[in-house]
Structures are given as C-alpha cells and as structure tokens.
Structure 1
Amino acid sequence: MPVFGLGKKTALNAKARMLLGNGDPVAEELHGAAGRREWDTVRETLGHFEDQERSQLVWSLAWEQPQLYQWLRKEPRLEENDAVAQLLLGVVTVGYAWSVRSGLFARHVSRAQFEGFHALLREAEPRLYAAAELDPGSSAPWTGLLAAGRGLQVGLDVIRRRFEAAITRTPGDRVAHRQLTLALCKKWLGSHELMHEFVDQARRGPYEANLAFLTALAHLEHAMALEVGPERRAYLAQPHVHAELVQAAEVSVFRPGYAVPHMPFADANLFAMVFSLAGMQAEARRAFELTEGVVTRSPWEQLSQDVMTVYTTRRRLARTSK
C-alpha cells in the first residue's frame, strides 16, 4: 500500500483522519481545483488520464463533492462537444442524484426524494451517452450509465449490455464491475445468488487481484441486507465466507506492492470493515494498519453517518482483541 506523501504512519494508532481525495495527490489537486471552481485546471487534469483512471477520478468528485452539480451545469466553458466535460457533468449529476435520494433503504426515502432522484438520473443519461459517442473507445461513460440504470431500474438486460460495453473497452474495469455487483444485489435488480455468481466468475479471470475487492463488497452487501443481530452474524460467521475473504485479501490488499491508482486506501477500508463485522479481528488489524488512519466515507457510512466514530471504534476493537 503506497504512502503517497503521508509519512510512515502505518501503526494501528495512527491518527484517524479524512482527506480530500482520500489520500491520493492527483485526486486532492482535482478536488481543490473543483472546490475553487477552476474549470480549466479540472479539465486539464482529467485530460491527462484515460479510461479506468479517469473514471475513478470523476467518481471521486461525484461521491465526495456532489454539490459540484450546481456549478458544472451552469459553467459556460463546459462544451457540449467535449467528451471529458460531458463525462464529468454526467457522472457528477449521477452522484448528486444519489445524494438527493440518500443511502437509506427505500422505505425511508420520501416520494419527493425519489422524484428528484429519478429526474436527475434521466438528466444524466443523455450527457453520458454524448460522452460515449464523442469518445467511443472509453469505458468511463458506461460506468455512469450503469449507476444511472441501477437507480432507474432499467432491468438486468439493459444493465448487462452497459456492462459489456464498458468491459469491451476496458477489460477488468473496477468501477464497471463494482456497479454491476451492486446492480445484482437483492435490494436492486438481482439476488444474492446472482451477485455471488457474478463475483466468482469475475475473480476467475486474469484480473483476480484487481477485482478481489468484489468478494468483500458482495459479502458486505449480502450481510447488510439481513437483520441486524443473530442473522447477520450467522451469515458472516460461515467458514466459507471467512475463507473467501482471506483469499481475496491475500491476493490484493495483503500482497506487498498492491496499489489501486487514485484510490490508495479504499480497499483497505473495505476489508477492514468486513473483517471487523465478521469477527475476524486478526485480519481486521492487518487491514486497519494498511489504512494508515485514512478513513474513506465508503463503506463506513453503511453503519453510521458518523464514519469517523464507527471507524475508530472498530479499529480499537481490532487493536485490543486477542
């Protein structure tokens, strides 16, 4: 796990903190420029990257600063014939839509929230299709269309076609695989069985290390769909779940030199949370150490909006458990 200028604070007692861009210097620069509404710098920075890296950077902006939608939709320098500009506006519109909906279960989302959510997703789709037409070799617009399609519940056939469009252009695309995994969740368009089957198949290919995080994601989504308490604990206590999580971590976050461009601490946070929930405290300690104290909002927000408190509480448990 690279340090990216954060020093050598790898101990379990490293100060917990949230960083702009989640600890990646390029993403930090991009977020800073976007926060200052410096369109030329934002456009130039994104222009240096392609496909998966560009996709991860625009999604970083969309999830961490969804309010950028209000600026970008009125930015006069954002051109309709610019693939990068349309991609950014489309993905940020999707991110803003999800912030309007909130991350709550559907029963807790109001009718007005759903109406705003769907209207924004319908607004985003033409921009993403425009980006795909302007840059036909790029997978990035299709990741946005996957997320929009999930929210609009366009059906698994359409979702799968969008996924194929993404991976035809960038095989092993992490963002596309993540989006299809989420779409296949029981709470969206699929089932636990479909989700796990897809993840297992994806992991058998040549991109095992790059896609190993999907195993943790799938088990987390399955667990979070169950009732809090004995039912969830029983699922996560199963030997095959433990074995799959360990194997996935060993080929990815626990492997020396493992790194994800522009997301240096995302996988470590994901595995730390899942290992913690599964009661696998030794493995959780290893994952927490790899976070270097950098807290990413996802996935901790699934447990509490106070992500810092839930992270530090879970880390303390891992540190003190035998």
Structure 2
Amino acid sequence: MSSTPPLSRPVFDPFAHHPSLATLRTACHARDWGTVSDFFAALGDEDERAYASSVVADLPGSEHLLEQASAAHPGDPLPRTLLADRYIRIGWSIRSNARASKVSEAQFGQFHSWLRRAEGLLIEVCAEHPAYALAWCHRVTTARGLQLGASEARRRYDRLAEHHPHHYAAQAKLLQQLCPKWGGSWEAAEGFARACAADAPPGGNNGALVAEVHMERWLDLDEGPDAAHMSAHAVRDELLAAARRSVLHPEYRPGFHWVTAHGHFAAALSLGRHHAEAAPHFRALGNMAGTFPWTYLGDQEAAFIKHRKTALAKG
C-alpha cells in the first residue's frame, strides 16, 4: 500500500502500483512464455491470477505470444485462457464501453466474432479442467458480451464459486451483468453485492462491490436524483460498514486489487459528499489511482485530485 509520499498528480499506471508486474510485461514483450508461466505459477491466489491476466490482456500484441504458447503447450490451460482474455479485450475495444444504442452494427459484428473465438477456447479449457477458476471467470464476461443472459452468466459464476466462493474479480464481472444496463435489475445487483460483502471473510476486497453497485446506480440516475441517492444516510452507513469489514479491516492485506477497492470507496463516499469518511481511503491511495472507477466521473485525473483535496481537508 502507499507509503504516503508527497501528494502529486495521480498515477494510473498499474505497473507503478505493482512493480512486480513489470516482469510479466517484459516477458510478454520478449515472447518469453517460460517466464510468463512461472509468474502465474507463483501466484497462489486466484484473484491475483485474474488481475495478472487482465494485465497481459491489455498489452498490445500479446496475442502473438499466447497463440504460439497455446500451440506449443496444447495440454496447458493457461496460454489458452490468457489468449481468450486477450481476444475479449480486442473485441471490447472495438465495441467500446458506450451504451448499446451508440454501438454500430459493424462494431457489434466484430465484437461478437472476437468473443466467440474466446468462448471456444474457454469451453475447451473448462471441459478439460472443470475447476479452472480463471477460465470460468472469463466465461462470465463472454456470457455478458454474447448476450447469453443473466441465468447463464450466474451458472458460470456458480461453477467457479463451487471451488472459489469469494472470487472478487468474478463477482465484479457478474455484478455488471446484473445491472439494468445489461438487462438486470437494481434489486438483483444490490442484493448480489451485499451478499458477496457479507459472506466474504473479513479483510477481503469483496466489500468494495457495495460501493461499486451504488456508483453504477448513481451513473444510471438523472442529475439531481443521482446526488440524492449517494448522499442518503442509509447509503453512507452501508458504505462505511462494508469498508470496515473489507479494506479498513485489521486483517486486510493489499494485493493487486487494493487500488481499485479503495478507489471505489473513495469515489462513492465523495460523490455523496461524505468527504471526511472518504479521507482514510485517499490516505491509503496517496497518488495511486485506477481508471475504474474514476473514469465514471469525467476527467479522471481532475476528479481524483478534486475529491482527494476536499476529503483530506475535512478528514
């Protein structure tokens, strides 16, 4: 976690947040599959593996290494699963994060084509390795992108949860599916986030899902009602309770997701003008920030600086 350096512009680079990931990036650029494989093997936590997978998926051209590794190691589920994640990322970049009404038919066609390629790889992996958490995690995403419905997405999540019941990354993916923008409902989304937070062991990241679902609702409301929702005392109290059980709990041990988790609480509390309550999260973050959720607030850098300054002045 941050060692409280002097405050300056926020850093959105995950490699600055987690210097160990530079080894993974270097190995991908060098097409050094052995080092990539060893890096993942050294990660004992499935949530950490999901985060590392997203880092590889974000690297332009990483599909070339992963295609070679998949061909060279046909029995290994890792290269195919990482390749599927990369294909998902390529497809989503074509679709963009715009609402469906703003996405063209041509974009949807290419998007679904890439996701079907990813889904084919993941089906193979899950058939061969039924308990392989990383593949099931990504299949929650492909279910959403291919519009297979909430029931199918939940089935896939449940297969993962049989072996890894508190998988924060997969829970965050399913939460998106349960929101109204993907055909769900606020009752389903909020109920799921609360259940994940309540059921997780103290000191997990899972409580941040409560902050995330309230931000999603804020984003979906018109100006005026959105502020009223976030400033409600019931929302504030729920956020504070979730934070105490997760990132502010004495047993919390920061991993790859800590910037995102603290960021959700900092942003959600700030939007409700609960600035003093947001201060502990900004102190933990220092100059570290993740694109998500700050991109929801427009200019992510300006929003982070503005809310950090106000929070630290009040708390």
Task: Pick the aligned partner of 1:149 from 138, 143, 148.
Answer: 143
Identity %: 26
**1:33 match:** 27
Decide whether the 8 Å contact of 1:18 with 1:296 is kept in 2.
yes
Structure 2 residue ranges without an equivalent (≥5): none
CA 1:10/1:256 → structure 2, altered by over 3 Å: closer, same or farther? farther
Stretch deviating more after TM superposition (258-267 or 159-168): 258-267
**2:306 match:** 313
Task: Pick the aligned partner of 1:95 from 82, 89, 99.
Answer: 89
**2:212 match:** 217
Distance across 2 between alignment mates of 1:20 and 1:67: 18
Q: In structure 2, what residue type is equivalent to 1:57?
A: A
**What does the per-residue CA deviation read over 1:257-291, in whole Å, with 9 as the maximum and x for residues that have no partner?**
52243223221112111111111111222211111
Decide whether the 8 Å contact of 2:91 with 2:112 is kept in 1.
yes
Structure 1 residues 78-227: aligned runs within 5 Å: 79-207=73-201, 209-210=203-204, 211-227=206-222
CA 1:312/1:236 → structure 2, altered by over 3 Å: closer, same or farther? same
**2:48 match:** 53
Stretch deviating more after TM superposition (253-262 or 181-190): 253-262
Distance across 2 between alignment mates of 1:48 and 1:83: 16
1:10 CA drift (Å): 5.1
Distance across 2 between alignment mates of 1:22 and 1:127: 32
CA 1:15/1:256 → structure 2, altered by over 3 Å: closer, same or farther? farther
Decide whether the 8 Å contact of 2:179 with 2:189 is kept in 1.
yes
Distance across 1 between alignment mates of 2:291 and 2:209: 17
1:168 CA drift (Å): 0.5
1:67 CA drift (Å): 5.0
Q: In structure 1, what residue type is equivalent to 2:110?
A: G
**What does the per-residue CA deviation read over 1:165-191, in whole Å, with 9 as the maximum and x for residues that have no partner?**
010021111112111111100100310
Decide which structure has greater helix share: 2
Decide whether the 8 Å contact of 1:16 with 1:294 is kept in 2.
yes
1:274 aligns with 2:268: yes
Q: In structure 1, what residue type is equivalent to 2:306?
A: T
1:135 CA drift (Å): 2.9
Q: In structure 2, what residue type is equivalent to 1:141?
A: A
Q: Larger RCO: Structure 1 or Structure 2 (Cα < 8 Å, ≥ 6 residues apart)? A: 1
**What does the per-residue CA deviation read over 1:222-274, in whole Å, with 9 as the maximum and x for residues that have no partner?**
111112x2121011121111110111111222234522432232211121111
Distance across 1 between alignment mates of 2:160 and 2:83: 18
Decide whether the 8 Å contact of 1:184 with 1:195 is kept in 2.
yes
Distance across 1 between alignment mates of 2:187 and 2:25: 38
Distance across 2 between alignment mates of 1:70 and 1:107: 33
Distance across 1 between alignment mates of 2:31 and 2:106: 29
1:43 CA drift (Å): 2.1
Distance across 2 between alignment mates of 1:319 and 1:67: 41
Distance across 2 between alignment mates of 1:133 and 1:271: 38
**What does the per-residue CA deviation read over 1:181-203, in whole Å, with 9 as the maximum and x for residues that have no partner?**
11100100310111111122223
Cα-Cα RMSD: 2.3
TM-score, normalised relative to structure 2? 0.90
Decide whether the 8 Å contact of 1:27 with 1:262 is kept in 2.
no
TM-score, normalised relative to structure 1? 0.88
Structure 1 residue ranges without an equivalent (≥5): none
CA 1:203/1:20 → structure 2, altered by over 3 Å: closer, same or farther? closer
Distance across 2 between alignment mates of 1:102 and 1:276: 27
**What does the per-residue CA deviation read over 1:12-52, in whole Å, with 9 as the maximum and x for residues that have no partner?**
x2552233435123323212322343333212211223533
